[in-house]
A and B are shown apart, each in its own frame.
Chain A
């Protein structure tokens, strides 16, 4: 079942060259939607219990004890679902694309397999394989379908994140060498965490930098704005919605359970890096005039909350309930950010499609010609700034309550300061609404026509899911909760 979910897109991608030209887009959509249905079925099958389901463990490189070991649990299911949803949305969004559709579809289906595989991987080497392939895939997306200074941005993206992946690999090898017997298997490494003391700290440093570049956290974030600005809309949506999660997912899946000792010791570092990312990302976003760059920087801000919460979870002396809340909030934030930022980037794509620019100052009053578009932008913006009733609030509330509620001086102070982030985010999104959507018409407003049907069909489900999570969060939280309890217990060892 899981293998089918993971490799179905790749199989379709391989078959795509044989599909006649006009059916390519629909085949792509069909595959993406089918995969989404399969993921949903898997979620139903897993239910809200703890533990790993749909596990497969096949020997791959036995001499280094690495295997094709995959499975799903409360952490991977939401992210698998998010991946499937976003890829389906991108497939629908790209329905009207005319430039090299076939290659585009093949690349996206390939990327979908890679992303699904990453979130299902239970083996470090397998995780790394998917981690690296995602970089290669996204590089080509930016290089071939981007705009602006795309080859430069793509190269920067590749070099920066690839360097990060190599540092991550060094960390993984550190874990491998530290385990007795040596193994890359995540389940075994989680069961008996290797490496105590200084080596553990060094390994955490390597893994932290590797994942931190991908996440990205300040100061390793500067690859993100150019990559987003020059990527095509669907590419940005996947990059922000799915691929940034690989970093934070890695923290929860690998760094915390496998290096609990080091994680507890350096929890303060995580807190501070998280806090700096939150405030710095929000402030820099506030000063942007390019709306896509702006959204990119808010990603830095939103990812910062996750790291903050995970840092708080490392304070073993703190209240266990609060730490669980923080971890649940962090995972919810991954899903929420994926949905909302994915939608925001697709909306940026609509603007670019109509007017050919992302410059805030040249729009204004687009609600006049395109009221539906304006509503969508408004809802997405409020979702991103954490309005209750939408998913962002559920995530951020839990993160703040959990972080501050851990009850140590450090977590309370950093958590309370991080709350300022939502005010700045509110300010910057109101600025976007004020300058682009509302007010008198601007220079390019006449060109901004209403959303088309494929765009609407891609955007509405994303925002509807955000609303669903915002209003009935239990559908998501009940699945995550057992996992966060487990993670908190593992870190507390």
Chain B
């Protein structure tokens, strides 16, 4: 058994940064708590570097439960990179806040849980990671202590509690009938277990993971949190936990291969993308709009997850799409943070007022649609390919129709940008930089997808 802690170097970097930050924050005056942000960012950068180095090495399994393979590499890099961006976004929002330190530390801990969620191949670790990823996020959602924030936090928590309990039940059931908790064991154990029990167990397990992924039926919290929580946190909870959740879903599907998996996930995917799209149509609040857009994007992401193990395209599709999604979503939220405007109409004239931020938003929104040469385009191509190769042509058609329909509400946001300028208010500098970086990353990932994929 491999128990080399060095294999978990990225996670350890993050953990150390969180602990150092917490400890340091206790002794720092309020005005100098920005140093904690630096420590956390340094930890994340170190983690990214370690993850990058690890990605060049051979696959291995650490502590019997922690797979270090391409899925993990992508999860690590995407989560840590996204978290870095969120820290940068949050910096402007919680500057000189009495609990600034806690804010960063909670983000880091949640990110750590997310990485583990995506990397583990054992049900028990999965549950632990779920809790680690969720609990700091509940607190973060209510961080603003204002009414919408608390309500959002409460809903987030209540949904998470219910579905988490169900997930625990599912884990119990599956480990019982599968005679183990490690995925390789389950694969053998579930093959000859009673159908009904497997089905109930898998669905219960899915409940928790779909909650993290923001997919049907665990999507109810997404719009409320996106609207109620502070914008930086909204960006965080609609981006980072999803990365881990999709990695975990894909890993479970690919490594245990339950019979009903593709059909089950295909139904969930179709329902999620359709529901997210339809609900997004009438939104006038950009954060709610983005929230529903993330729900529909989760639907597309579930397509290759459903095809796990059925086609070689599934894995690159999930990984590429998830990274592309993270970049694009962060870019869009960064613009919201930068401008501080929540209403669609308030975006009138943005392109005149601050062309770079406006263009970044256009790139990100067109990216969501899947316009080449952005990153999501390549992700969508792979996603469609996976669906067709897995003989789920109907799912591909549903996804295509949904994609076309989604044009409608993304354009609703783009069109006002070109109008005459309303009141000019200069966007926040840090967030703008994040937005521009994200847009450039999206284009780079699209054009340079060959390098990224190989």
Contacts and interface: CB of A to CB of B under 8 A. Distances in A.
A–B contact, 8 Å CB criterion (strictly below): yes
Interface of A: 59-64, 125, 128-129, 132-133, 136, 143-144, 151, 155, 158-159, 162-163, 166-167, 169-170, 173-174, 176-177, 202
B241 to A, nearest CB: 28
B372 A129 contact: yes
A155 B404 contact: no
A169 B418 contact: no
Contact of A143 (B313, B397, B403, B415): B415
A151 B419 CA distance: 12
B407 A173 contact: no
A270 to B, nearest CB: 23
Contact of A173 (B371, B378, B381, B415): B381
B450 interface: yes
A144 B418 contact: yes
Interface stretch (B28-36, B60-68, B383-391): B383-391
Nearest to B418: A144
B1 interface: no
B6 interface: no
A133 B372 contact: yes
Which of A64, A151, A158, A174 has its CB near the most chain B CB atoms (within 10 A)? A64
A136 B366 contact: yes
Contacts of A174: 388
B401 interface: yes
Contacts of B396: 170, 173
18 contacts: A61-B450, A62-B454, A63-B450, A64-B382, A132-B372, A136-B366, A144-B418, A151-B415, A155-B411, A158-B407, A159-B404, A162-B403, A166-B400, A169-B400, A170-B384, A170-B388, A170-B393, A173-B385
A170 B366 CA distance: 19
A133 B371 contact: yes
A128 B372 contact: yes
B316 interface: yes
B58 interface: no
B453 interface: yes
Contacts of B285: none
A64 B450 CA distance: 9
A178 B26 CA distance: 62
B453 A61 contact: yes
Contacts of B449: 60-61
A45 B289 CA distance: 53
Contact of A158 (B316, B372, B411, B418): B411
Interface string B274-309: 000000000000000000000000000000000000
Which A-B residue pairs are the 6 nearest by beta carbons? A163-B404, A129-B372, A166-B400, A61-B450, A63-B453, A173-B385
Contacts of B371: 132-133, 136
Contacts of B411: 155, 158
A207 B315 CA distance: 26
Interface string B387-422: 011000100110011011101100100010010000
Contact of A170 (B369, B382, B400, B407): B400
A167 B397 CA distance: 8
Interface string B358-390: 000000001001011100011001101100110
A133 B372 CA distance: 7
A176 B369 CA distance: 22
Which of B384, B393, B404, B408 has its CB near the most chain A CB atoms (within 10 A)? B404
Contacts of B405: 159
A258 to B, nearest CB: 16
A155 B366 contact: no
Contacts of A144: 418
Contacts of B407: 158-159, 162
Interface in B416-441: 418
B450 A59 contact: yes
A62 B407 CA distance: 29
B372 A173 contact: no
Contact of B418 (A143, A177, A202): A143
B418 A63 contact: no
B254 to A, nearest CB: 18
A167 B372 CA distance: 15
B388 A166 contact: no
B319 to A, nearest CB: 11
A158 B408 CA distance: 9
B415 A177 contact: no
A121 to B, nearest CB: 12
Contacts of A128: 372
A176 B387 CA distance: 13
A63 B405 CA distance: 30
Contacts of B397: 170
Given A144-B418, A159-B407, 20 more contacts: A60-B449, A62-B450, A63-B316, A64-B453, A128-B372, A133-B371, A136-B366, A159-B404, A162-B369, A163-B404, A166-B400, A166-B403, A170-B384, A170-B396, A170-B397, A170-B400, A173-B384, A173-B396, A174-B388, A177-B389
B175 to A, nearest CB: 36
Given A136-B371, A177-B389, A169 B381 contact: yes
Nearest to A61: B450
A17 to B, nearest CB: 9
Contact of A169 (B313, B384, B453, B454): B384
A129 B403 CA distance: 16
Contact of A63 (B384, B403, B415, B454): B454
Nearest to B316: A63
B442 to A, nearest CB: 14
Which of A133, A143, A162 has its CB near the most chain B CB atoms (within 10 A)? A162
Which of B369, B405, B407 has its CB near the most chain A CB atoms (within 10 A)? B407
Given A63-B453, A132-B371, A173 B388 contact: yes
Contacts of A202: 393
A136 B316 CA distance: 27
A56 to B, nearest CB: 15
A414 B384 CA distance: 37
Nearest to B450: A61
A128 B377 CA distance: 11
B447 to A, nearest CB: 8
Nearest to A133: B372
A129 B454 CA distance: 20
A174 B381 CA distance: 11
Given A136-B366, A143-B418, A177 B454 contact: no
A202 B400 CA distance: 16
Contacts of B400: 163, 166-167, 169-170
Interface in B169-227: none
Interface string B230-245: 0000000000000000
Contacts of A155: 408, 411
B415 A129 contact: no
Interface string B140-158: 0000000000000000000
B385 A61 contact: no
A201 to B, nearest CB: 13
B404 A60 contact: no
Interface in B64-101: none
B245 to A, nearest CB: 25
Given A136-B371, A166-B403, A170-B400, A159 B381 contact: no
A177 B408 contact: no
Nearest to B452: A61
A143 B313 CA distance: 37
Contacts of A63: 316, 450, 453-454
B390 to A, nearest CB: 10
Contacts of B403: 162, 166
B348 to A, nearest CB: 13
B373 A129 contact: yes
Contacts of A170: 384, 388, 393, 396-397, 400
B401 A163 contact: yes
Nearest to B380: A169
Contacts of B377: 129, 132
Contacts of B393: 170, 202
B318 to A, nearest CB: 14
